Amino acid sequence: MLVFLAFATILVPLVLALGSTSYNGLAGTPPMGWDNWNAYGCDIDAETLLETAEKMVDFGLRDLGYKYVILDDCWQNMERSPNGSLVANSTKFPNGMKAVSDRIHDLGLLFGLYSSAGIYTCAQYPASLGHETLDAQTFSDWGVDYLKYDNCYNQGQEGTSKLTFDRYNAMSQALNKTGRPIHYGMCNWGRDYPWNWAQTMANSWRISGDVYDSFNRPDDRCPCTTYDCQLPGFHCSIMNIIGKVAPIVDKGQPGAWNDLDMLEVGNGGMTDDEYKVHFSMWAMIKSPLIMGTNIPKMTASTYSILANPAVIAISQDPASTPAVRIWNREADLDGYGQGSISVWVMALSGGDYAIALLNAGDSDLQMNATLEEIFVDKATTAGGATKGPLPSSKGWDIYDLWAKRMGDDMANSILHGNATMDGTIMDSSNSTMLYNATEMAYEDGVKNNHAALLGVKTNSVDPMGTIQAMVPRHGIAMYRLRAQG
């Protein structure tokens, strides 16, 4: 954790020393954690929040990298205190917010909180527009490490990039002046194109209206299908959001990420294959991985998706940039008129690549991707073949990143307390399925060829060859490619 003693004199040199583009030195890789909203909405209190935090430790989720415990809307009193400060609801949080924060920190986790860049939050509680300095100091005094900052009741202060920048920058500056490192997550739903300007004042920004627990069902309340959207809405499906972000993936960078919204994995509205797509693509696009399910009651299948270290290692690779969609084709439309197949590619540390073959069609499909397609950017930019042999001229080993997915027996053993010790998963150093990123960062684990991070070598592809996979309906094949020789 970085300590900022004086923002103007310390922060900028420190960030430059880290080689980071982050405006505050945070979020070198996408943040990971849990937010209560998708599972609980307003029905949240200290007991539920802290039980979840404890289970995140017990289940090894903290040690997989899920560090933030984020308390969403409805934590406040309806009125500010006489001195103007926000006040926690004394029924839900009888010992105050500092006590909650202290307990979360004692567990080795980080504490996140919610407000809005409006006069009210979305649930109509007091929010922070016009109170940025006071509220930022309150958050700092409470030990907040992450601020989710929404967009409701904004008094019409949007419609141009400058209006929205100024409104959100007021809180950015106020947070920095507290001297406490606080991840700043803008939740303005993609209004006024934050991916064009937020990198210098935020760590992440939402690119769409709110996600809901559906793979591809259209909903009139989410009317847009592209990023250029005047009414972001809500009830946006997984495929709707993936389609919106595809043209702007390059705007995400270390310290400043496109946020596709919280994960719906485990909430019951999608199939297992659809949840695998959801989790895999959020990792490939390098969105924050913020769980949104009931952690104490999660099922084995939910756990084994969220706890797949081979996929998480793609998200947390510090040198990679978000995956690029190489091609997208209509295929096998369903009853909603939806159906497509696409190929996504990202470069990783050490010369590896990750690829995803995404089948959003209505039946199982054989999918093919040639090395020429996969490495098209290498051939068409920055000098191409004039710089030497192209990656497509090499042979590559193919590692399936879902082949070592934890079985239900092991997952249930962990969930029932039979495979953990002192909050740390046992024997992770030699495990093919378990990983402890607290002990060894994902970057180092990949360098050391940790079995849990590489997946299973299932095949290889010859120079100028083709990768083939039978991909299930609404499913994904996700691979790490490693050059031969």
CA 371 to each of CA 323, 329, 455, 462: distance values in angstroms, whole numbers, following the listed order: 16, 18, 20, 9
Task: Compute, in degrees rounded to 10, the torsion defined by CA atoms 26, 31, 36, 39.
Answer: 160
Report the chain's terminal Cα–Cα distance, integer Å. 39
Strand, coil or helix: 103: helix
Strand, coil or helix: 211: strand
CA–CA distance, 357 with 325 (Å, rounded to integer): 10
Residue with tokens 């967009």: 151
CA–CA distance, 127 with 143 (Å, rounded to integer): 18
Return the closest-CA partner of residue 269 out of 296, 292, 290, 300.
292
Type and span of the H or E element at 241: helix 238-245
Task: Compute, in degrees rounded to 10, the torsion defined by CA atoms 280, 282, 285, 287.
Answer: -150
Strand, coil or helix: 480: strand
Q: Give the active site residue among 63, 145, 210, 259.
A: 210
Q: Give the active site residue among 150, 213, 317, 352.
A: 150
CA–CA distance, 24 with 133 (Å, rounded to integer): 17
Would you call 364 a catalytic residue per the annotation?
A: no
Would you call 150 a catalytic residue per the annotation?
A: yes
Distance of CA 461 to the CA centre of its chain: 31
Bridge partner list, 70: 35, 112
- Asked if residues 39 and 294 have their Cβ atoms less than 8 Å apart, the reply is yes
Return the closest-CA partner of residue 78 out of 35, 133, 121.
121
Catalytic residue list: 150, 210
